[in-house]
Amino acid sequence: MEKAFVTTIIGSMPKPPWLLAQKALNDPQADHHGKGAEWLPPPAALRQAQDDACRVAIHDQERAGIDIISDGEQRRKSYLTHITMQLDGIDYEKTVAKLARNGRRTIQAGRIVGPIRRRGSILREDLRFLMAEASGPVKVTLPGPMTVWDTLADEFYGDERALALDFAAAINEEAREIDALGPAVIQFDEPVFSRYPERMAEWGIEALDRCLEGLAAATAVHVCYSYPMPGVPRPIQDSYPVILKELERSKADQLALEFEASRLDPALLRLCPSKTILFGCIDNGIEEPETPGHVASKLLAAAEYHPPEKIQAAPDCGLVPLSQKAARAKLAAMAEGARIARERIGAPAE
Segment 212-246, tens digit of pLDDT: 999 999 999 999 877 766 666 666 678 899 999 99
Is pLDDT at 177 greater than 70 in this prediction?
yes
Which residues, in sequence order, are CB contacts of 269 under 8 Å at separation 6+? 244, 277, 302, 305, 306
Is pLDDT at 103 greater than 70 in this prediction?
no
d(CA 180, CA 199) in angstroms, rounded, equals: 32
Is pLDDT at 271 greater than 90 in this prediction?
yes
Cβ proximity of 152 and 200 under 8 Å:
no
User: If you classify domain 6-345 with CATH, what class do you get?
Assistant: alpha beta
d(CA 128, CA 177) in angstroms, rounded, equals: 12
Which residues on adjacent β-strands are paired with residue 100? 105
d(CA 72, CA 54) in angstroms, rounded, equals: 7
Is pLDDT at 17 greater than 70 in this prediction?
yes
What integer is the mean pLDDT of 19-25? 80
Which H or E run contains 94?
Answer: strand 87-100
Model confidence over 49-94: pLDDT tens digits? 999 999 999 999 999 999 999 999 999 999 999 999 999 999 999 9
